[in-house]
Amino acid sequence: MSVEVHLDQGRLSRFLRLRGGIVERNLARRTSRVTDIARGLAPGSMPQYIDWHIEEGAGGLQGVITCDHPATLYLLEGTHPHLIKARRGKACGSKSTGRSCSRGSCGIRARGRTTS
Protein backbone atom coordinates (compact mmCIF):
# COMPACT_ATOMS: atom_id res chain seq x y z
CA MET A 1 0.00 0.00 0.00
CA SER A 2 1.50 3.33 -0.97
CA VAL A 3 0.48 6.72 0.40
CA GLU A 4 1.17 10.10 -1.13
CA VAL A 5 0.97 13.30 0.94
CA HIS A 6 1.12 16.82 -0.49
CA LEU A 7 1.55 19.80 1.85
CA ASP A 8 0.85 23.35 0.80
CA GLN A 9 3.71 25.17 2.58
CA GLY A 10 2.04 28.58 2.30
CA ARG A 11 -1.21 27.39 3.84
CA LEU A 12 0.61 25.48 6.59
CA SER A 13 2.73 28.53 7.39
CA ARG A 14 -0.36 30.80 7.58
CA PHE A 15 -2.13 28.26 9.78
CA LEU A 16 0.72 28.22 12.29
CA ARG A 17 0.97 32.04 12.43
CA LEU A 18 -2.74 32.72 12.88
CA ARG A 19 -3.71 34.93 15.78
CA GLY A 20 -4.61 32.65 18.68
CA GLY A 21 -2.86 29.71 17.01
CA ILE A 22 -0.52 27.27 18.71
CA VAL A 23 2.61 29.30 17.89
CA GLU A 24 1.17 32.49 19.37
CA ARG A 25 -0.05 30.70 22.49
CA ASN A 26 3.38 29.15 23.12
CA LEU A 27 5.12 32.48 22.49
CA ALA A 28 2.70 34.25 24.84
CA ARG A 29 3.33 31.67 27.57
CA ARG A 30 7.11 32.02 27.28
CA THR A 31 6.97 35.82 27.10
CA SER A 32 4.75 35.92 30.17
CA ARG A 33 7.19 33.68 32.05
CA VAL A 34 10.15 35.95 31.21
CA THR A 35 8.08 39.00 32.22
CA ASP A 36 7.34 37.42 35.61
CA ILE A 37 11.07 36.86 36.14
CA ALA A 38 11.79 40.49 35.21
CA ARG A 39 9.12 41.70 37.65
CA GLY A 40 10.62 39.56 40.40
CA LEU A 41 14.09 41.03 39.86
CA ALA A 42 13.01 44.66 39.42
CA PRO A 43 13.48 46.99 42.42
CA GLY A 44 10.88 49.16 44.14
CA SER A 45 7.80 50.11 42.15
CA MET A 46 9.34 49.15 38.80
CA PRO A 47 7.43 45.82 38.48
CA GLN A 48 4.18 47.80 38.08
CA TYR A 49 5.57 49.35 34.88
CA ILE A 50 6.62 46.08 33.18
CA ASP A 51 4.26 44.77 30.51
CA TRP A 52 4.38 42.46 27.48
CA HIS A 53 2.60 41.91 24.18
CA ILE A 54 2.89 39.85 21.00
CA GLU A 55 3.40 41.64 17.70
CA GLU A 56 4.06 40.79 14.08
CA GLY A 57 7.71 41.37 13.17
CA ALA A 58 9.85 40.95 10.08
CA GLY A 59 10.48 37.27 10.81
CA GLY A 60 7.01 36.44 12.15
CA LEU A 61 5.51 36.79 15.61
CA GLN A 62 7.66 38.15 18.42
CA GLY A 63 7.14 38.72 22.13
CA VAL A 64 7.98 42.24 23.33
CA ILE A 65 8.58 43.13 26.98
CA THR A 66 8.54 46.83 27.89
CA CYS A 67 9.18 48.87 31.03
CA ASP A 68 7.91 52.47 31.13
CA HIS A 69 9.42 53.37 34.51
CA PRO A 70 11.36 56.68 34.43
CA ALA A 71 14.49 55.09 35.94
CA THR A 72 14.72 52.11 33.57
CA LEU A 73 17.79 53.42 31.74
CA TYR A 74 19.61 54.10 35.03
CA LEU A 75 18.95 50.51 36.09
CA LEU A 76 20.11 49.01 32.78
CA GLU A 77 22.99 51.36 31.94
CA GLY A 78 24.00 52.41 35.44
CA THR A 79 24.94 55.89 36.59
CA HIS A 80 28.28 57.65 36.68
CA PRO A 81 30.15 57.34 40.02
CA HIS A 82 28.94 60.03 42.43
CA LEU A 83 28.98 60.91 46.12
CA ILE A 84 25.82 60.04 48.05
CA LYS A 85 24.75 62.81 50.45
CA ALA A 86 22.15 62.92 53.22
CA ARG A 87 19.00 64.92 52.48
CA ARG A 88 17.52 67.43 54.92
CA GLY A 89 19.72 66.33 57.81
CA LYS A 90 18.53 62.74 57.75
CA ALA A 91 21.01 59.90 58.13
CA CYS A 92 22.34 58.23 55.04
CA GLY A 93 23.84 54.78 54.90
CA SER A 94 24.62 51.70 52.92
CA LYS A 95 23.09 48.30 53.51
CA SER A 96 26.05 46.60 51.85
CA THR A 97 28.74 48.19 54.03
CA GLY A 98 26.66 48.77 57.15
CA ARG A 99 28.07 52.30 57.49
CA SER A 100 25.79 55.21 58.25
CA CYS A 101 26.19 58.80 59.35
CA SER A 102 24.13 61.83 60.28
CA ARG A 103 26.53 64.37 58.76
CA GLY A 104 26.02 66.01 55.39
CA SER A 105 28.14 63.40 53.62
CA CYS A 106 29.31 60.00 54.79
CA GLY A 107 31.76 59.33 51.98
CA ILE A 108 29.77 56.45 50.52
CA ARG A 109 30.32 56.46 46.80
CA ALA A 110 28.02 55.02 44.18
CA ARG A 111 30.06 52.90 41.80
CA GLY A 112 27.75 52.93 38.81
CA ARG A 113 27.81 50.13 36.25
CA THR A 114 31.13 48.71 35.18
CA THR A 115 31.53 47.66 31.58
CA SER A 116 33.65 44.68 30.68
pTM of the complete model: 0.60
pLDDT digits (tens, 9 = 90+) for 33-74: 999 999 999 999 999 999 999 998 887 789 999 999 998 888
Cα–Cα distance, 27 to 7 (Å, whole number): 24
Contact 28, 54 (CB under 8 A): yes
- Per-residue pLDDT band at 114 (split at 50, 70, 90): very low
Q: How many CA atoms lie within 13 A of 74 on its CB side?
A: 10
